């Protein structure tokens, strides 16, 4: 099972009526939420961030005496815009994970993996905990990356690198919860770590493509389901014992 094959599979299934509906309403809700937040808090947040960036810039260029206020305001607006895009995407993903992933898993399993036994190793509580861990990881990685925002060339890289991890963390659990045992899930997550992160990074990148990025969560949700169910099928064909040691 290849990443490219799973992505092509996802694109080929977008015209199904239920999938089309899942492409629209989570993104619409996410845009409403963050649009309202931006209207209320945009000015205050940009001014606060500009002051933080001004202090960092002037500290980093201590050998030159200059007023960095204008540069800091422009940088604050750019950084805020760069941050809003992944937040909209993440919100849509979380909504999709709660309300859409079970339907996408059923859709993919029925069409491509009808013989795959459902061992139901996941649970609603496990899905909720996985979302909490993803959000906590986002906050922790965001806080750890703050000093790196001083360097403008890293601005496009930082949110993509962080969201690559968050995206795969959000999608992987629900993709396998219905079919895999806990031991199988742990093993596949470990074996497919690199591939899952790559899919997460691709989703983070596509999120910045106008219009197309709005529908990326469903595309990559389908791709995750297809890829990980394929990995589970291959794992079950393997003679290696997946029981916990």
Note the pLDDT tens digit of each residue in 36-56: 998 888 888 888 888 887 777
Torsion of CA 139, 141, 147, 149, to 10 degrees: -90
pLDDT at 182: 94
Q: Is residue 49 part of a domain?
A: no
Q: What is the pLDDT of residues 124-134, one digit of tens each?
A: 889 889 989 99
Pairwise CA distance, residues 103 & 58, whole Å: 52
Res 239: pLDDT:
58
Question: What is the distance between the alpha carbons of residues 52 and 36, in angstroms, rounded to a whole number?
Answer: 24
Q: Is residue 60 part of a domain?
A: no
Band of residue 117 on the pLDDT scale cut at 50, 70, 90: very high
Domain for residue 37, yes or no?
no
Asked whether the CA dihedral 154, 159, 165, 168 is positive or negative, the reply is: negative
Cβ atoms of 96 and 22 closer than 8 Å: yes
What is the predicted pLDDT for the residue at 245?
45
Domain that holds residue 111: 3-27+82-237
Is residue 193, in this structure, part of any structural domain at all?
A: yes
User: What's the pLDDT score for residue 184?
Assistant: 95
Number of domains in the chain: 1
Structural domain contains residue 96: yes
**pLDDT tens readout for residues 4-24:** 999 999 999 888 888 888 888
> Nearest Cα to 54, choosing from 40, 35, 73, 39?
73
The string of DSSP codes covering 136-185 is HHHHHHHHHHGGGGGSGGGTTHHHHHHHHHHHHHHHHHHHHTTT--HHHH
Residue 41 covered by a domain: no
User: Does the residue 245 lie in any domain?
Assistant: no
Segment 55-108, tens digit of pLDDT: 776 666 666 665 667 778 888 888 888 778 778 888 888 888 778 888 899 999
- The 10s digit of each residue's pLDDT in 189-238 is 999 999 999 999 999 999 888 778 878 888 999 999 999 999 999 999 87
Q: How far apart are CA 199 and CA 121, in angstroms?
A: 23
* Cα–Cα dist 179/185, whole Å: 9
Q: Domain for residue 165, yes or no?
A: yes
């Amino acid at each position: 099972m290849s990443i490219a094959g799973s992505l092509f599979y996802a694109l080929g299934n977008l015209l199904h009526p239920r999938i089309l509906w899942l492409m629209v309403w989570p993104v619409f809700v996410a845009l409403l939420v963050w649009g309202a937040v931006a209207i209320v808090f945009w000015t205050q947040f940009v001014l606060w961030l500009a002051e933080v960036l001004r202090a960092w810039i002037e500290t980093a260029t201590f050998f030159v005496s200059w007023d960095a206020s204008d540069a800091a305001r422009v940088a604050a607006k750019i950084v805020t815009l760069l941050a809003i895009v992944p937040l909209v995407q993440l919100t849509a993903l979380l909504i999709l994970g709660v309300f859409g992933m079970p339907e996408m898993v059923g859709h993919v399993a029925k069409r491509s993996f009808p013989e795959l036994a459902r061992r139901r190793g996941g649970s609603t509580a496990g899905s909720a905990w996985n979302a909490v861990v993803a959000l906590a990881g986002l906050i922790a990685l965001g806080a750890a990356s703050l000093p790196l925002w001083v360097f403008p060339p890293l601005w496009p890289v930082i949110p993509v690198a962080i969201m690559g991890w968050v995206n795969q963390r959000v999608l992987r659990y629900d993709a396998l919860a219905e079919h895999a045992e806990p031991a199988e899930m742990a093993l596949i997550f470990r074996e497919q770590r690199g591939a899952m992160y790559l899919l997460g990074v691709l989703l983070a990148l596509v999120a910045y493509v106008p219009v197309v990025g709005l529908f990326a969560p469903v595309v990559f949700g389908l791709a995750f389901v297809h890829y990980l169910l394929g990995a589970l099928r291959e794992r079950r064909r393997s003679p290696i014992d997946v029981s916990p040691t």
